[in-house]
Structure 1
């Protein structure tokens, strides 16, 4: 039996290589790899990992015209009696070279290796392969802890979220990152950051316009009111709520014992009701969602329900409070009332026994009440500097500690409350004279997301229905309205015109106009939120005609 390296075999192999380059059979390579992993040396096991990389590099090192095909035994160190078969020259060469000097080396492998080392191309390949540099990265600038968090925790529960983040979400995450020192933009960094360049021009010489390019033109906000009306004898009391703008575009304003209605569509004013001195003055007003029915809270602790279209008293709710009712808010057929006695009562206006639930928590007068957009949570602020979040499912007739969250961060009376119309569980609250802060709350976790010191008493808050903006009204010293960009809380504009604290604000149904009433006995209308976007009407479907079946394409 002749050796595999005789001349006849070589000539035959060289002729075969001119047509194509031999490839390693999949089964043979897997068998050899398995044997080497099980019985080979550390060096032989190492080549298994590098062989895949070298196979990818093979087209760069092995032109078809330069390398002859090689025939050699199947794993000669294990079974030298097997006949030769075609094998990949790179793989055979590497295995033969690594087995040199080992106990399992055979003469065929040594002879094969010597023959290939005499080949100029193979010698150059082996020399380059042995002299390849190893890349050692500088990992001092890497942040592996944060990288692990980003890979494991950050993506949880985001399968159903939108790919495009909202502007408020981005700003909130940026603020959160700065607070907890998580502003890490470089995770897999292979070199340290370059030194900060020296600024030739100080920052104060750059204008805000050059630093930030708005995505759309800035809205012009008029600094003067569109209209001013007299509001004689309006009660200057921080804890009352004497104005509301209904969905039928009618504004209700209480002046002492009388409730007036002003129709914004035609500018006409009318008197709804004047109560007697025994029940008066009027301490609160609130429109129902339909814009037809209005609730009126009285100093006598009674609450009256009126039909504004017929100027007719529907019913009077009694027996719930022991003193004046200064706060009202609707949730469908439930009218929630807050009194000076600290109680909050849910009244079902459809039934005779109207009291269906009671919230107890405030120790002083309830100054503000607001139901969330979903109707699941109720926010209440009191003269005891407390802010409560109530869940409608936890209300009962007998429990005295059924609140969801009790928030004590304010240092003055809390009257101004506003639920965000575009973000769930986001509530804005404002504190009185010694506080002067606007705070933003996550009502699901009770966390305070941000606090802004305005420098003056916060009397009322309104969210813009069309933009991410918040309007606040204030007292001493400037008695102004301030428009804020949310969530950055950058001042957009300050509207001045009142000479006393701006106690009450109401927003028109289209969200454009804001009405303000102050202790200076004036009622002003401001174009604070701009012109709303007009939605295009959906195209009407074409009438099919008397014979719709004839319109089909056959």
Structure 2
């Protein structure tokens, strides 16, 4: 029995639901007693439930003062912090109090960089705006900012300095007295041997550009006749001359000897173009003749597409197409000469978009299927054609008569010569046809343009009886504009061709 009594005593001692008599007063009991005493001291006789919702009245009658809700269940305010604030605090504390251990320096720097990238979006040590180290720093890899980066080592297109200089003054001026001011004639051509051929009334003069020497090649016997066109062979050894008496003459320039005179046209020959040993000539009658200059019976066949004078004639660089422009406002594209078949006299394309005579024709040297044509005073448009598709690629209103066109391969540009009303030479960027420069050296309409063998200089002949040379396509980027202006002014002294 004693044993059972002892167990009962132990169980009674270990019971947790019994009050502990000698323990300190619980926290909730202290808080409840304090609240009750305070309420009973201010307002005796009120019950605890009533006193807990009682508010001290405001000084102004009728207004109830809004009180801040009390933090139930606590005696102090603990703010709520998100995870990012805790990470920032931990990073700052570790940055200030970390031990300076030489062995852990690399690891610590990597940790700091990782924390900086995570918290700030980039490494703040490498994204400074002001830096005394010399060159400005690039933004870190992967860094994106809507406001863009203020400094960058890479140069922007706006800050790239343009080194090309196009002088507004001609590099050289040659007098061309007795020049026939006729829009439909082609009186200028530049050979691959750097010799410029110029037709002045009834004579043809040669100007050697490398030595600045002038030679009279030929003069017609009849004073009333005149030269209507000139054209060099690809090798530059022979010159074809069209005359007003319906003849086509072939000259050996080196020996200054006429090789032959080919008849067949019924009117003046105003346009000429070479394709290897085939010489094509356009007449005022509207006919185009193909001549094989190697044989005695030179005439191959006739192209009869135009109804008026053929004033523009150009073979493509690969010899596949012949383009012709006439006073009937038409542009024809003919197939190359393969034999004597009838299909060769049928035009591949006939374009009638121009509203005036088409004299200006130019084939693109780097795109064999591209042809540019220019219209006269009533049209004033430059049109670019694709021979393969037969469509007009682009069109531009130049606001001036277009008399001549030539492509410049050095900068992939198109040069146009103009008559009424601007009498200028304009350089266009191809294929956008945006104006690069406008040269205003001539006082009368520009008749013809020829490109030098090195494609750096153009020669222009105009109704003011001058031939002007413009070195506008030099590829040397180190040439200074000032030196070029001085040289242009000093070399602009007039020299007569004859």
Structure 2 equivalent of residue 305 of structure 1? 250
Superposed CA offset, 1:286-308 (max 9, x none): 01111111000010111111111
CA contact (8 A) 1:468 1:485 kept: yes
CA contact (8 A) 2:334 2:344 kept: no
Displacement, 1:445?
Answer: 1.5
Structure 2 equivalent of residue 246 of structure 1? 191
Unaligned 5+ runs, structure 2 = 1-145, 147-154, 479-498
Displacement, 1:468?
Answer: 1.2
Q: Does 1:341 align with 2:285?
A: yes
From the superposition, tell whether residues 395 and 458 of structure 1 become closer, same or farther in structure 2 (CA, over 3 Å). Answer: farther
Q: Does 1:461 align with 2:402?
A: no
Residue 192 of structure 2 aligns to a residue whose secondary structure is: coil
Structure 2 equivalent of residue 372 of structure 1? 316
Q: In 2, distance between residues paired with 1:532 and 1:305?
A: 38
Q: In 1, distance between residues paired with 2:345 and 2:451?
A: 34
Q: In 1, distance between residues paired with 2:163 and 2:415?
A: 17
Structure 1 equivalent of residue 361 of structure 2? 417
Select 1:487's aligned residue among 431, 441, 448: 431
Select 1:235's aligned residue among 175, 180, 186: 180
Superposed CA offset, 1:222-276 (max 9, x none): 1100111110111111110011000110000000000000000010101000012
Higher relative contact order (CA 8 A, sep 6+): 2
Q: In 2, distance between residues paired with 1:421 and 1:532?
A: 21
Displacement, 1:279?
Answer: 7.5
CA contact (8 A) 1:510 1:532 kept: no
From the superposition, tell whether residues 412 and 531 of structure 1 become closer, same or farther in structure 2 (CA, over 3 Å). Answer: same
Cα RMSD, aligned residues only:
2.2
Structure 2 equivalent of residue 552 of structure 1? none
Q: In 1, distance between residues paired with 2:159 and 2:280?
A: 42
Structure 1 equivalent of residue 109 of structure 2? none
Displacement, 1:214?
Answer: 8.5
Select 1:505's aligned residue among 440, 449, 463: 449
Select 1:269's aligned residue among 214, 226, 235: 214
Q: In 2, distance between residues paired with 1:532 and 1:343?
A: 45
CA contact (8 A) 2:274 2:280 kept: yes
Displacement, 1:218?
Answer: 4.5
Structure 2 equivalent of residue 386 of structure 1? 330
Q: Does 1:436 align with 2:436?
A: no
Displacement, 1:384?
Answer: 0.3
Q: In 2, distance between residues paired with 1:473 and 1:276?
A: 32
1:508-547 mapped onto 2 (5 Å cutoff): 508-531=452-475
From the superposition, tell whether residues 449 and 314 of structure 1 become closer, same or farther in structure 2 (CA, over 3 Å). Answer: same
Displacement, 1:219?
Answer: 1.3
Q: In 2, distance between residues paired with 1:341 and 1:486?
A: 35
Q: In 2, distance between residues paired with 1:216 and 1:369?
A: 41
> TM-score, normalised to structure 1's length?
0.56
From the superposition, tell whether residues 322 and 223 of structure 1 become closer, same or farther in structure 2 (CA, over 3 Å). Answer: same
Structure 2 equivalent of residue 316 of structure 1? 261
CA contact (8 A) 1:262 1:270 kept: yes
Residue 245 of structure 2 aligns to a residue whose secondary structure is: coil
CA contact (8 A) 1:327 1:338 kept: yes
Displacement, 1:465?
Answer: 2.0
Q: In 1, distance between residues paired with 2:289 and 2:160?
A: 46
Q: In 2, distance between residues paired with 1:233 and 1:211?
A: 53
Unaligned 5+ runs, structure 1 = 1-196, 198-209, 535-554
Q: In 2, distance between residues paired with 1:250 and 1:366?
A: 26
Structure 2 equivalent of residue 445 of structure 1? 389
Q: Say how many residue pairs are matched.
A: 325
Q: In 2, distance between residues paired with 1:269 and 1:290?
A: 20
Q: In 2, distance between residues paired with 1:382 and 1:261?
A: 28
